[in-house]
Amino acid sequence: GARAGAIIPITAERAAPLRPAATSLQDCRRCPLWQRATQAVDGQGNRAADVMLVGEQPGDQEDLQGKPFIGPAGQLLEEALARAALDRESLYLTNAVKHFKWEPRGKRRLHKSPAQQEVLACRHWLEQELREVGPRVVVALGSTALLSLVGSKNVKLTEVLGQALQHEGRWIVPIYHPAYVLRVPDPALKTRAMEVMVAGLALAKQLA
């Protein structure tokens, strides 16, 4: 408690009683997902890429190691990239949501889909990446990425799958999420889903 008339030195804390928006991803508190995550997982790759890939959120392995697409979904993605003759090193890979959302299931951490508010809160970081990298083509891996990129729930993944959409001066190509393809139980349908993914990636390469 300061006495009336006392001169109070303005320290950073006193000058900013409200927590300012984080300027660093690791300090992000824009939504509550940071609380249960090991770390924020930033995008990775070529910062001058013509093609950017946007996933949903880090998985268990990504959360622990701090890099996007290194777990099982990442391996399936690598296979699809190879089949589309796209080199991972030439791309920029990131996620719509930077923190892993999960709930305990025995000893495992079970993935939970991010809420729309969490996706919208995290757009701040994706927009920064889009500005910095400036890709000609953005591949949306699944509906969460699509929602983040077009900002509307009215665009349904199944209705635009594999198509090139013009949005804010760049191409968006929505494809399945690799984790979805991994979970398709029927082998013939899984093969088909993989083909749709590969075709979308090949289209992205062509547009770039």
H-type helices in the chain, by residue range? 12-15, 60-65, 72-83, 116-133, 143-150, 157-160, 178-183, 187-207
When binding is defined by CB under 6 A, the residue of 30, 49, 95, 155 that contacts ligand URA is 95
Report, in Å, the least distance between residue 66 CB and ligand URA.
Answer: 11
Q: Is 56 in the site for ligand URA (CB under 6 A)?
A: yes
Closest Cα partner for 55 from 139, 157, 137?
139
Q: Is 63 in the site for ligand URA (CB under 6 A)?
A: no
Q: Contact letters (x/-) for ligand URA, 65-84, by CB under 6 A?
A: ---xx-x-xx----------
Report, in Å, the least distance between residue 69 CB and ligand URA.
Answer: 4
Closest Cα partner for 122 from 6, 19, 42?
42
Residues in contact with ligand URA, counted by CB under 6 A, come to a total of: 13
When binding is defined by CB under 6 A, the residue of 179, 193, 197, 201 that contacts ligand URA is 179
Q: Is 143 in the site for ligand URA (CB under 6 A)?
A: no
3-state SS assignment for residue 162 = coil
Could you say which DSSP state residue 7 is in?
A: P
Could you say which DSSP state residue 5 is in?
A: T
Looking only at Cα atoms, what is the longest distance across the chain? 79
Q: Is 148 in the site for ligand URA (CB under 6 A)?
A: no
- Is residue 144 a contact partner of residue 57, using CB atoms and an 8 Å limit? yes
H-type helices in 26-169, by residue range? 60-65, 72-83, 116-133, 143-150, 157-160
Q: In the window 184-203, what residues touch ligand URA (CB under 6 A)?
A: none
Q: Contact letters (x/-) for ligand URA, 2-41, by CB under 6 A?
A: ----------------------------------------
- Is residue 80 a contact partner of residue 178, using CB atoms and an 8 Å limit? yes
When binding is defined by CB under 6 A, the residue of 25, 28, 53, 57 that contacts ligand URA is 57
Contact residues toward ligand URA (CB under 6 A) are 55-59, 62, 68-69, 71, 73-74, 95, 179
